[in-house]
């Protein structure tokens, strides 16, 4: 019998964690059917943390069956009020365990503990509170009078068994965006965390059980995407799948749905989000917001404002201030312990991602007419882990790969525009449409931008400050459907129409 738990020590916080390592099926941790495991690495040191069980196709079938049985026999008969109570119980446990959950995020994903991981937990608590309260409010239908002898009404009903695939950049937060909304709607779940950031969600499973959720309602299957993710996307007994990750893999999920049972699909995929800075903007505030919008979480955000367009009349002044704030507030030099309060920029997630970002930086160095600024020397020789200094490329042409492709790291490109029409043409010149930002003192211009930009989220004089009560999702190749807010429940409900003849 493999070891299904290990003890993890986090001396910086004086925390000891009894870490689950097994698959979570029917409220129990169990070994994988074929005995395979995955090593998880601390990206701030490059050292192996531990190994956990890796699910097989057989385990996927087992978890889906557990979710189906729980839905048919228990969860579909559980009142909306009771679902809200279970989520309220979960909220209390998250509040009690927030430091442990954040510490696991820091250890496994490299997130700076104080400025990043604890912020994620604050949002998780907020959204859990929101969805706990929504469980008996957002599943209401309508009554439709048709004539004196007939009326109709609609019912909003859960899909049943929902599969959810979680990315590595926000392991627990993205899981909770999906999990809490789907549970409030009345579905049962099979969740696959990313293979390199599974620890926090496995620990979170212990809170699911303590909160009183019946066995089989939530099942968590760590494993490889090409096996577990593919099996869930093509499974004939999964009614809906929700995926957050790359656009390329999102396409595979959509294709797998079409080739199996046409399960409903929600996708939140990549982005190359523009930020436009006009000459009438508050320049200091714009610089602060944009720096945070690209360097927070080491640039590993689908909504990161990685394309910055600045009106030519203020371009040089903006670039000067942008470099100053990057060096002052976002430098990685000497701060290689994400548990240190002074560490604001952690490592990127893996050696693979490190090499990919490095490749883009080398490409930028070779492009003519580009200027590059980095907050410190790269590679960062003193660091053991995958640290990349914030990097700014200026005067980047629209045709550059740096401007067109999602880099997913602390790398930003800055270019000029002349007027509003020019800015909009540049901003919409992308296959993505996840988020956008405008900085201006002109309210008319701000609303014109909101009208004209082809993106699911628009920030006016801010960036990357989403709220759990507001719907979130993308246009074009950035995704299908919406999460958070009322949409975070509605996306897990389908409508049934009932016709009643009184004759």
pLDDT at 334 over 90: no
Catalytic residues: 268
pLDDT at 381: 72
What is the arithmetic mean of pLDDT over 423-432?
98
**First-to-last C-alpha distance (Å) of the chain:** 66
CATH number of 274-468: 3.40.309.10
Pure H helices in 303-432:
315-329, 351-366, 401-404, 420-427
Interatomic CA distance for residues 333 and 389, integer angstroms: 8
Domain boundaries, the chain: 5-269+480-497, 274-468
CB-CB contact of 397 with 423 (8 Å): no
- High-pLDDT (> 70) share of the chain, %: 100
pLDDT at 424 over 90: yes
Residues in contact with 161: Cβ distance below 8 Å, sequence separation at least 6, in sequence order: 64, 67, 68, 71, 187, 188, 189, 190, 237, 238, 239, 240
pLDDT at 426 over 90: yes
pLDDT at 379: 77
H or E segment and range at residue 477: none
pLDDT at 226: 94
Position 368 confidence tier, pLDDT thresholds 50, 70, 90: confident
pLDDT at 412: 98
Could you tell me the two tokens for 76?
Answer: 């579909």
Domain 5-269+480-497 has CATH 3.40.605.10: yes
pLDDT at 2: 87
- High-pLDDT (> 90) share of the chain, %: 95
Tens digit of pLDDT for each residue in 297-312?
Answer: 999 999 999 999 999 9
pLDDT at 73 over 80: yes
Whole-prediction pTM: 0.96
Mean pLDDT of the chain: 96
Q: At what angle do helices 80-109 and 118-134 cross, to 10 degrees?
A: 170
Tens digit of pLDDT for each residue in 188-232?
Answer: 999 999 999 999 999 999 999 999 999 999 999 999 999 999 999
pLDDT at 382 over 90: no
Tens digit of pLDDT for each residue in 436-487?
Answer: 999 999 999 999 999 999 999 999 999 999 999 999 999 999 999 999 999 9
Q: How many CA atoms lie within 13 A of 281 on its CB side?
A: 31
């Amino acid at each position: 019998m493999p070891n299904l738990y290990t003890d993890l020590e986090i001396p910086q916080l004086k925390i000891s964690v009894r870490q689950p390592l097994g698959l979570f099926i029917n409220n129990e941790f169990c070994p994988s059917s074929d005995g395979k495991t995955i090593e998880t690495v601390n990206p701030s040191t490059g050292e192996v943390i531990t190994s956990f069980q890796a699910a097989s196709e057989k385990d996927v079938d087992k978890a889906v069956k557990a979710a189906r049985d729980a839905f048919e026999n228990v969860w579909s008969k559980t009142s909306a009020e009771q679902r809200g109570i279970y989520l309220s119980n979960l909220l209390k446990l998250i509040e009690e365990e927030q430091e442990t959950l954040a510490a696991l995020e820091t250890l496994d994903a490299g997130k700076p503990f104080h400025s990043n991981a604890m912020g994620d937990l604050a949002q998780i608590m907020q959204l859990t509170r929101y969805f706990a309260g929504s469980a008996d409010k957002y599943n209401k239908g309508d009554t439709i009078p048709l004539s004196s002898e007939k009326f109709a009404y609609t019912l909003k009903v859960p899909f049943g068994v929902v599969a959810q695939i979680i990315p590595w950049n926000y392991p627990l937060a993205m899981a909770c965006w999906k999990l809490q909304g789907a549970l409030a709607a009345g579905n049962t779940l099979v969740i696959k965390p990313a293979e390199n950031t599974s620890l926090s969600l496995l620990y979170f499973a212990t809170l699911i059980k303590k909160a009183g959720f019946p066995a089989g309602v939530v099942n968590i299957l760590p494993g490889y995407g090409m096996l577990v993710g593919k099996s869930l996307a093509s499974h004939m007994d999964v009614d809906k799948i929700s995926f957050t990750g790359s656009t390329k893999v999102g396409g595979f999920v959509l294709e797998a749905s079409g080739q199996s049972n046409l399960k409903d699909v929600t996708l939140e995929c990549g982005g190359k989000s523009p930020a436009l800075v006009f000459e009438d903007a508050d320049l200091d505030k714009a610089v602060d917001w944009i720096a945070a919008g690209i360097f927070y979480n080491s640039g590993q955000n689908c909504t990161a404002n990685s394309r910055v367009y600045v009106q030519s009349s203020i371009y040089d002044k903006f670039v000067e201030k942008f470099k100053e704030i990057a060096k002052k507030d976002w430098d990685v030099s000497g701060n290689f312990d994400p548990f240190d309060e002074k560490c604001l920029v952690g490592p990127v997630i893996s050696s693979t991602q490190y090499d990919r970002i490095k490749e883009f930086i080398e490409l930028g160095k070779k492009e003519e007419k580009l200027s590059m600024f980095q907050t410190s020397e790269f590679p960062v020789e003193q660091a053991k882990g995958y640290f990349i200094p914030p990097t700014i490329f200026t005067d980047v042409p629209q045709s550059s790969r740096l401007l067109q492709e999602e880099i997913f790291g602390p790398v930003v490109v800055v270019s000029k525009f002349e007027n509003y029409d020019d800015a909009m043409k540049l901003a919409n010149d992308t296959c993505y449409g996840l988020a956008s930002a405008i900085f201006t003192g002109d309210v008319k211009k701000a609303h014109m931008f909101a009208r004209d930009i082809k993106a699911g989220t628009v920030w006016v004089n801010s960036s990357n400050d989403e709220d759990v009560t507001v719907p979130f999702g993308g246009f074009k190749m950035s995704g299908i459907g919406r999460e958070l807010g009322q949409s975070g429940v509605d996306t897990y409900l389908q409508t049934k129409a009932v016709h009643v003849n009184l004759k």
